Amino acid sequence: MRLDLWLRLVLLLALVGVAWWAAGKIHRLCPPGLDPERARRLEALLSLGRSLLRALVLAVAFLIALDLFGLNLGPLLTGAGIVGVILGLGAQSVIRDLIAGVVLVLEGPFGIGEVIHAAGVGGTVERITLRATYLRDADGTLHAIPNSMLGVISNLSRDWARVAADLPLPRATPWEHVEAIRSEAEAAMAQDETLAGSGRGPLTIAGVEGISETAFVVRFEIPVHPAARWTAARRLRYHLIRAARTLEISPIHRQEA
């Protein structure tokens, strides 16, 4: 009888291991060919489902193990229900996190791989569980934020982004030269291999942002793909300065402007 019990336990452990492994592979159910938005939402939903399935596997395995040892589950389940009510009253924040996690996945304000700002930190979404969302910032630090504490969420990876750069110029600079700087910089960005696939639009002059005794500050803007916003911002500043110097115009230091 004892040998039969151990064989059943070994079989139970094997089944738990297989179920755990299968739950870890659930993300492969994402079909190819989906648009990026739907793919991110589905991946986030599958990540949440993986956590739920693994928790369910452990709970069922625990109950089966108790039954194998001959324990009466009726009183145990009744007592567990009472304890669950007590724990629920004392763990309301955990319950809020779980509910918030489900709502986040269903509404889809962000997905895995997107860059967001939430709860005072920003980074790339690496994982979404029932309890928390995990962000990796630019320094490599991993932030675990409880889902109920995300608050206002700013998504930097949706649809499109606008990059702006300010260029301080001598006050005597004719406006025709400003237009020439824009044209020169726009042509240079079109040939910049670093910006290939950035989905950029036309470079425009937003207007004059400030005036001092010696200079005025001109703001240039260009729409780009969200993922390219940081690279595009650096390259835009570079090409604006280079275009100004090509036209023999010396940009003013910002302190002087």
- Give 183-210 pLDDT, tens digit per residue: 999 999 999 999 988 888 899 999 999 9
User: Looking at residues 16-37, what average pLDDT do you find?
Assistant: 70
Q: Confidence band (pLDDT; 50, 70, 90) for 36?
A: low
pLDDT at 167 (0 to 100) = 95
Q: Where in the chain is the domain with CATH 3.30.70.100?
A: 161-246
User: Looking at residues 27-50, what average pLDDT do you find?
Assistant: 67
> How far apart, in Å, are the Cα atoms of 162 and each of 83, 116, 243?
53, 16, 21
Do 110 and 120 meet the contact criterion of CB atoms below 8 Å apart? no
Helix (H) or strand (E) run with residue 3 in it: helix 2-24
> How far apart, in Å, are the Cα atoms of 43 and each of 64, 117, 124, 222?
31, 20, 14, 31
Taking only the tens place, the pLDDT of each residue in 230-255 is 999 999 999 999 999 998 888 876 55
Q: Confidence band (pLDDT; 50, 70, 90) for 224?
A: very high
Instruction: Dig out the tokens for 98 from the structure.
Output: 């779980």
pLDDT at 72 (0 to 100) = 67
Do 175 and 218 meet the contact criterion of CB atoms below 8 Å apart? no
pLDDT at 22 (0 to 100) = 78
Q: How many CA atoms lie within 13 A of 119 on its CB side?
A: 13
pLDDT at 31 (0 to 100) = 65
* Eight-state DSSP code of residue 24: H
Least confident of 86-90, 96-100, 156-160: 86-90
* Eight-state DSSP code of residue 226: G
Least confident of 77-81, 169-173, 213-217, 237-241: 77-81
Question: CA-CA distance, 98 to 33, in Å (whole number)?
Answer: 30
Architecture of domain 161-246: 2-Layer Sandwich (3.30)
pLDDT at 173 (0 to 100) = 93
User: Looking at residues 221-232, what average pLDDT do you find?
Assistant: 93
- The answer, yes or no, to whether residue 257 has pLDDT greater than 60, is no
> How far apart, in Å, are the Cα atoms of 55 and each of 16, 80, 149, 183, 212?
11, 16, 23, 59, 63
Fill in the amino acid letter for 229: R
- The answer, yes or no, to whether residue 38 has pLDDT greater than 90, is no
The pTM for the full model equals: 0.64
